[in-house]
Structures are given as structure tokens and as C-alpha cells.
Amino acid sequence: PTPSKVVKQGTEATKDPVQTTSPQSTAHVQPPVTRSETPVSEPIAAPVSASMPNLKPSIPYPPRRDDERRREQTNEQIEKFYEIFKDMSFEISFTDALILMPKFASTLKALIGNKEKLSEMARTPMNEHFSAVILNKLPKKLGDPGKFLIPCEFSEMDECLALADLGASINLMPLSVWKELSLPELTPPCMTLEIADRSVFKPIGIAKDVKVKVGMFHFPADFVVVDFEPEPRVPLILGMCFLKIGRALIDVHKGELTLRI
């Protein structure tokens, strides 16, 4: 504290005026009166020193703060349980798993009640093929490319087309075409054929080493001769064995079949 200022008042003396009178009146003249004042000083306030108590701020609502802390701990425990639950492999029954985890009983109950969390945990990552289907990113649907026909040249026939069939393991020739081409004698067959309608029949024979001309090249092929009424324009069927010899390359999108030598 700042010490108080001391105010001193100066001494002031006043004299009454003295009138000059006659000698007769000097006896009655009173002596002059002097009036003086004593200086007065204001009291000085002494500084007072007092130690301030160290007050610790108190939490306004301690129970509420404790509840928040316990709630945070519970949420952390639930998150840890979610991680454990994701990595669980159920090699035992679900009931036995609950018995072995009594500490997670309340958490499991909260999990079952939280459908959004269950749906999040039930999310299954999908590969690009499933994503393409769901996001409708599939390629544009196209029509049937039709049949793949191979033009064959025979001196006895003006026009002959052969059907390329990847599902056939043999080359097929009708009996009428075999007679028209004047091919060598047939080899006795040792097989039976089952057609699409599940009917089974035995072929007439096998024509070996028939030269099939495609463009500039000749390909040897064995034909199984069967007695049936063929389509006049496409009488022959060439299976995988012939396509393998010709190293066939089929572009279904463009509808092209290429034989490579």
C-alpha cells in the first residue's frame, strides 16, 4: 500500500489593527491578540501483509464427470470387443463362446441391440467382378454372332461349307457326301455316337486321311461317316481335332475364324 501523504498547514498569524488614540484613552487599550493554529497530520495507513490461501478449483459436478469418464471407458471396451469379434473364428459353438467370455456379456447385449454396428461388421468386401455387376458396369449386351463356317474346296463339289464345332471331338461326314467325293474304303468303326436327343446309333465307318483344302492349304482329317440327311449348304462338321491342326483362332466379338499355319 502507498503511504498516505502528510499535509502540513502553515502557521498564520493575524493582528487586529491598532487605532491611535489620545493619551487619555491608552489605559483602556487592550493588548493585541495573536491567533495561531497547530499543524495536523493525517494518519499513515501501515501496509498489511496477509498470505492468500491456496484454493484448489473444484469441479462443479463431480458425479457427472465420473459418469462421462466411465462412459468413455465403456466405449473403448466396446470398440476393442468389436475388433476381437471381427477376428473370431467360430470353431466352437456360439453358446460355449459366450460362456468363455463372461466379461463381454453386457457388451454383446449392446452389440446385438445395435443393428447399425452389426450391419457394418457384416460387410463383406467384394472383388471387381461382383462390383461390376452391382454397379452395372457390365459390357453392352450383344447379339448372337452366328455360326463359324469354314469354306472347304472339293473338286467333286461346287460349294461346301463346314461347321466349326468346339463341342465336337470328331469330324462328321454324311454318307451321301462320302459317295459323291469317291473317297477310299471306310474303316470299320469301334464306337457309338450319342446325339443331342440322347439317341444312340452306330456310324457306318471312318474315312481316314481325307484332304480338306481351305484356301491355299490342305489339311488331313479323319471323318466319321454317318447315314443322315445333311443340310445341302453345310454338310460337314469339323471338330476340335481339325481346329487344333489348323491352329484356329476364333474372335467371337468380330465373328472371325482364322487358321494359322
Is there a single domain that holds both residue 235 and residue 182?
A: yes
In a domain? residue 50: no
Nearest partner of 107 among 75, 133, 150, judged by Cα: 75
Rounded to a whole number, what is the largest CA-CA distance in the chain?
202
Q: Mean pLDDT lowest for which of 35-39, 66-70, 122-126, 169-173? A: 35-39
Highest mean pLDDT among 4-8, 70-74, 117-121, 207-211: 207-211
What pLDDT is stored for residue 32 in this prediction?
55
Judged against a pLDDT cut of 60, whether residue 52 lies above it is answered with no
In a domain? residue 202: yes
- The 10s digit of each residue's pLDDT in 138-168 is 667 778 878 888 999 888 888 889 989 888 8
Contact 235, 159 (CB under 8 A): no
In the structure grid, which three cell numbers stand for residue 11, read together?
502557521
Which CATH number is 220's domain given?
2.40.70.10
Give the residue with greater pLDDT, 244 vs 105.
244
Is there a single domain that holds both residue 239 and residue 179?
A: yes
Contact 149, 160 (CB under 8 A): no
In the structure grid, which three cell numbers stand for residue 100, read together?
468363455
What pLDDT is stored for residue 56 in this prediction?
55
Calculate the average pLDDT of the chain. 72
- The 10s digit of each residue's pLDDT in 100-114 is 666 666 766 766 666
Is there a single domain that holds both residue 153 and residue 102?
A: no
Alpha helix (H) residue ranges in 37-190? 62-86, 94-100, 105-113, 115-121, 128-134, 175-181
In a domain? residue 8: no
Is there a single domain that holds both residue 255 and residue 153?
A: yes
> What is the dihedral angle through the alpha carbons of 165, 166, 169, 172, rounded to the nearest 10 degrees?
10
In a domain? residue 38: no
Distances (CA, A) of 228 to 176, 195, 204: 8, 12, 11
Given pLDDT bands bounded at 50, 70 and 90, which one contains residue 6?
very low
Q: Is 116 helix (H, G, I), strand (E, B) or coil?
A: helix
Is there a single domain that holds both residue 82 and residue 174?
A: no
Judged against a pLDDT cut of 80, whether residue 190 lies above it is answered with yes
Nearest partner of 75 among 102, 97, 106, 99, judged by Cα: 106
In a domain? residue 52: no
In the structure grid, which three cell numbers stand for residue 233, read together?
449348304
Give the residue with greater pLDDT, 83 vs 90.
83
Is there a single domain that holds both residue 87 and residue 171?
A: no
Is there a single domain that holds both residue 163 and residue 112?
A: no
What pLDDT is stored for residue 10 in this prediction?
43
Is there a single domain that holds both residue 107 and residue 156?
A: no
Q: Mean pLDDT lowest for which of 2-11, 175-184, 200-209? A: 2-11
What is the distance between the alpha carbons of residues 154 and 213, in angstroms, rounded to a whole number? 7
Is there a single domain that holds both residue 184 and residue 117?
A: no
Contact 153, 228 (CB under 8 A): no
- The 10s digit of each residue's pLDDT in 7-16 is 444 444 444 4
Is there a single domain that holds both residue 170 and residue 252?
A: yes
Is there a single domain that holds both residue 168 and residue 216?
A: yes
Instruction: Give the percent of the chain with pLDDT over 90.
Output: 5
Contact 230, 174 (CB under 8 A): yes
In a domain? residue 70: yes
Judged against a pLDDT cut of 80, whether residue 99 lies above it is answered with no
What is the distance between the alpha carbons of residues 191 and 203, in angstroms, rounded to a whole number? 8
CB atoms under 10 Å from CB of 203, counted, come to 21
Do the bridges between strand 217-226 and strand 205-214 make them parallel or antiparallel, or are there none, so unpaired? antiparallel
In a domain? residue 82: yes
Is there a single domain that holds both residue 153 and residue 222?
A: yes
Task: Report, in angstroms and rounded to the nearest whole number, the Rg of the chain calculated over CA atoms.
Answer: 61
In a domain? residue 1: no
Domain of 87? 63-121
**Domain total for the chain?**
2
What pLDDT is stored for residue 63 in this prediction?
67
What pLDDT is stored for residue 159 in this prediction?
82
